[in-house]
Amino acid sequence: MKTVFSHTAFLFLLATTIVCPSARSQPADSSKVWYGPSMGSADMLQLFTNPTQWDSARSRIDVFQFLTHHVNTWPCMGGLCNSNTLTNFAQVQAFTKLDEWGIEICIEGAGILPQTPFGTPVDCSLERQIAAQNAFNWTVDAIINVQANGGTVRYVAIDEPIRRWYSPIYPPLDGPECKTEDLAEIAAMVADFITLMNNAAPSIIVGQIILYPEIDVEGIKTYVAELENLGINLPFIHLDVHGLRIIDYAGPIYGRVTLAQLKADLLELETFLHAHNISFAPILIDLSFTTQLFQFGQYTDEVYYEGAIDWINEVNSAIGQPDHLIFESWARPQYSDTDLVSVITPINLPENDTSIFSHTRLINEGLAIFNPPPGCCSDLGGDANDDGEANVGDAVYLISYVFKGGPAPPCLDEGDANFDCNVNVGDAVYMISYVFKGGPPPACGCVE
């Protein structure tokens, strides 16, 4: 049973139990694996009642991410959480178990929202101040609820505050009354929220999620600079790539940038943010899910899984392993004509059944893409595409990887067909010679 505190007690408990002033200036640790199950996924509670079903993934996860909807005192918005509510998480001792497993907790969704999106506020400056204060109150509520039930919050991820206010995102005459094109104004509001959080709970690391490409690279750079002018240095930025705006996924009507431009932007952002000591990571989801949801009855766990693997390969080929590896899902219920089809993907468990396309299985496979296991070469040298054969398909795969930004070989050692300790066009030439000209077979174990 959860414990209930007054708001004053919330602030007192924050100030007296999680004070660690030195932590505030430290960026979030790199190379951490974050896991955020889909908001209303049917088996989220079973992650805590059946932990043996994700032993491998669980041992590799560093941060478990709840939405504020999951752990706020009031009911989840629109029932989208299904049974994934504070009361039920407390009942299965979710927060205590995460602590026992050495997994830190993040709260996503500070909710810096316009208060009068369709009305006429008296003062937009005041409106933004109220939004920052309300977001702080909601976040404090979530943090204390977790603590009261045996957990400790380490991170807060502010969910896309720019998107809520930024004029260029909205069609003409649409959006909140206090929308603005001035990123400095939005930065000031976010700085107010972060300052409140830092003063109340210095040990909690507060970073941000940013929507792309609605906010482009130059906009992100400007925003980061505005925050720094206000004395705020973000420890991390997680990039929510909007698949509906990527031409390769949604076509030119909705799309804004190509996949090639997106990958170039990832590299530019990573370089810029690292220069500012900010950890950077694109969120690993199925980029096609926003368009797939309109294919009524066809969006399955398998479709989500394959789409996420595709995006993981694209990220890996663009920047290699990001600072954080963030496996999330926000897939929502679908509509078929006027009937609601309750599809919330992907399922979370189990991790080791190849007939089930679960989120924990996706974590294991995604991590293997970024960090291929040693000894892959013992399987089959030259098998760049990992299909169990060494043939012309591997040469085509290598050419795509080297020249077109295609996915890297799942095992780089197997892509190194001429065993010279590099994966490049020479390996494709070597494979063509082997297949068509009777050249020497590919081998394993590069020779320095």
Per-residue confidence (pLDDT) for residue 118, from 0 to 100: 62
**Mean pLDDT by groups of 10 residues along the chain of 448 residues:** 43 43 42 93 96 96 96 83 94 98 94 76 88 95 96 96 94 87 96 96 96 97 98 97 91 89 97 97 89 66 91 93 94 56 81 93 91 62 81 87 79 80 84 85 67
Model confidence pLDDT, tens digit, residues 126-183: 999 999 999 999 999 999 999 999 999 999 999 999 999 999 999 888 888 899 999 9
Whole-angstrom Cα distance, residue 345 to residue 289? 10
- What kind and span of H or E run contains 185? helix 183-200
Residues above pLDDT 90, as percent of the chain: 56
Per-residue confidence (pLDDT) for residue 332, from 0 to 100: 65
- Tokens standing for 428? 């494709």
- Domains of the chain, earliest start first: 7-370 (3.20.20.80), 376-437 (1.10.1330.10)
Per-residue confidence (pLDDT) for residue 379, from 0 to 100: 56
Per-residue confidence (pLDDT) for residue 295, from 0 to 100: 61
Q: What is the pTM of this model?
A: 0.80
Per-residue confidence (pLDDT) for residue 294, from 0 to 100: 60
Question: Residue 194: which residues within 8 A CB-CB, separation 6 or more?
Answer: 158, 206, 232
Per-residue confidence (pLDDT) for residue 373, from 0 to 100: 61
- What is the secondary structure of 65-114 as a DSSP string? EEEHHHHSSSPPGGGTTTT-SHHHHHHTTHHHHHHHTT-EEEEE------
Per-residue confidence (pLDDT) for residue 412, from 0 to 100: 77
Per-residue confidence (pLDDT) for residue 420, from 0 to 100: 79
